[in-house]
């Protein structure tokens, strides 16, 4: 599975993946790995990636970062120093992406985090990019959409305090909502811990505050439990979610309770067209479930790197020069058509792309409701 140390031979391109296969979120690592494997087989079965008239085979190296910050740094260093990769995809969550981004930037290796939403990951780091949109963009999307869709004046928020993604989004949402409807328009602002399974106390507080809807920027597994428990407590109002809902597992876990809810995400799986649909169908056929946003974002991030390699025009046998070439052409990417939509990059290496609001319909499909572009 892993090739020997040192530089590979000249006909292969080595890309590293720094992903969580164990720890808190193994599913995320699995989805990333599956998407990458699919892409690799695609390209290698056609003879490899064509750069400057020559075919290069791809070689992907997967390192488990165990969902730990120190392990992510070590994994990044191992990929850089021992495996001599030309670029790194991942880590996914910000807890690992921020320190690993620092490591990659110091060692001048291009890194793309598919999923991290913390601004610090890419800030002042010319070698670090990301494929996901940032919280400061997604928050207002949720605010504007739910104000219009539900005709809401008051909102309640329930978020995960140990998860910086969830917490960041919740705070941005609260500030935006209060700005729009005056202070106190967020009638309840409650939190829970990462591995909690019972949310009834928080929900009791929320339900008795009588908001017009509940904003739930949370991972899909907790979403399923929270919505069920809210219904048990007699809540019948709507929920608004964020991109972490966008997993195929959401509907298997949540069932009827989630139908009719809305969330903002990177792409709508149902009713997708073109490349996106091809990607979704093939992934579903191969691994048996609809790809979630991590899979789609990893696919995009990896394709971005490959595109950058092609744009550079030729492969330099010196790894350091090749990394520099990839970084320069990544920074020069003006427009990229990914399965999660078209994206451009700003000066910080963050993508400018549209968010989609989807509705979960009666068949459990994520149906397109609205597209919001910056």
Q: By CB under 8 A, name the binding residues for other proteins.
A: 1-2, 21-22, 24, 26-27, 29-30, 62-64, 66, 68-71, 73-75, 77-78, 80-82, 94-95, 98-99, 102-103, 106-107, 118, 120, 161-164, 167-168, 189-198, 200-202, 204-205, 207-208, 221, 224-225, 228, 232-234, 249, 252-253, 255, 289
- At its nearest, how many Å lie between other proteins and the CB of residue 110? 17
C-alpha dist (Å) from residue 237 to 149, 212, 233: 13, 7, 12
Residue 162 vs 178, nearer CB to other proteins: 162
Residue 98 vs 356, nearer CB to other proteins: 98
Looking up tokens 């990636």 gives 49
Residue 151 vs 234, nearer CB to other proteins: 234
- At its nearest, how many Å lie between other proteins and the CB of residue 74? 6
- At its nearest, how many Å lie between other proteins and the CB of residue 182? 21
Residue 104 vs 343, nearer CB to other proteins: 104
CA distance 19 to 96: 9
Residue 83 vs 322, nearer CB to other proteins: 83
- At its nearest, how many Å lie between other proteins and the CB of residue 253? 5
Are the C-beta atoms of 293 and 246 separated by less than 8 Å? Answer: yes
C-alpha dist (Å) from residue 176 to 65, 128, 137, 143, 170: 35, 28, 11, 7, 10
Name residues whose C-beta falls within 8 Å of residue 210's C-beta, 6 or more positions apart in sequence. Answer: 154, 187
- At its nearest, how many Å lie between other proteins and the CB of residue 161? 5
Q: How many CB atoms lie within 10 A of CB 361?
A: 14
Token couple for 284: 């579903």
Phi-psi region of 116 (alpha: psi -120 to 50; beta: other; left: phi over 0): beta
């Amino acid at each position: 599975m892993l090739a020997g140390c040192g530089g590979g031979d000249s006909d292969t391109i080595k890309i590293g993946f720094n992903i969580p296969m164990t720890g808190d979120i193994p599913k995320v690592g699995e989805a990333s790995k599956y998407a990458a494997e699919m892409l690799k087989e695609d390209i290698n079965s056609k003879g490899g990636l064509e750069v400057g008239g020559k075919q290069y085979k791809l070689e992907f190296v997967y390192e488990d970062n165990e969902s730990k910050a120190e392990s992510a740094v070590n994994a990044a260093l191992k990929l850089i120093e021992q495996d001599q990769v030309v670029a790194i995809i991942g880590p996914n969550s910000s807890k690992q992406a921020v320190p690993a981004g620092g490591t990659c930037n110091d060692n001048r290796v291009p890194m793309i985090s598919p999923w991290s939403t913390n601004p610090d990951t890419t800030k002042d780091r010319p070698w670090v990019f990301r494929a996901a949109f940032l919280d400061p963009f997604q928050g207002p999307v949720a605010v504007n959409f739910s104000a219009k869709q539900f005709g809401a004046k008051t909102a309640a928020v329930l978020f995960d305090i140990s998860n910086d993604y969830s917490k960041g989004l919740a705070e941005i949402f609260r500030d935006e909502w209060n700005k729009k409807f005056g202070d106190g328009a967020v009638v309840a602002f409650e939190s829970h811990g990462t591995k909690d399974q019972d949310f009834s106390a928080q929900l009791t507080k929320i339900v008795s505050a009588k908001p017009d809807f509940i904003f739930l920027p949370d991972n899909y597994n907790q979403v399923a439990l929270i919505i069920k428990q809210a219904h048990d407590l007699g809540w019948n109002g709507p929920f608004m979610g964020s991109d972490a809902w966008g997993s195929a597992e959401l509907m298997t876990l949540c069932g009827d309770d989630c139908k009719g809810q809305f969330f903002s995400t990177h792409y709508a799986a149902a009713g997708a067209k073109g490349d996106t649909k091809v990607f979704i169908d093939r992934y579903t056929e191969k691994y048996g479930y609809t790809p979630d946003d991590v899979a789609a974002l990893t696919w995009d991030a990896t394709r971005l790197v490959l595109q950058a390699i092609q744009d550079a025009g030729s492969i330099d046998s010196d790894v350091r020069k090749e990394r520099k070439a990839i970084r320069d052409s990544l920074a020069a990417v003006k427009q990229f058509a990914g399965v999660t939509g078209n994206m451009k990059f700003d000066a910080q290496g963050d993508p400018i792309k549209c968010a989609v609001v989807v509705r979960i319909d009666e068949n459990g499909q994520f149906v397109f409701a609205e597209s919001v572009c910056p």
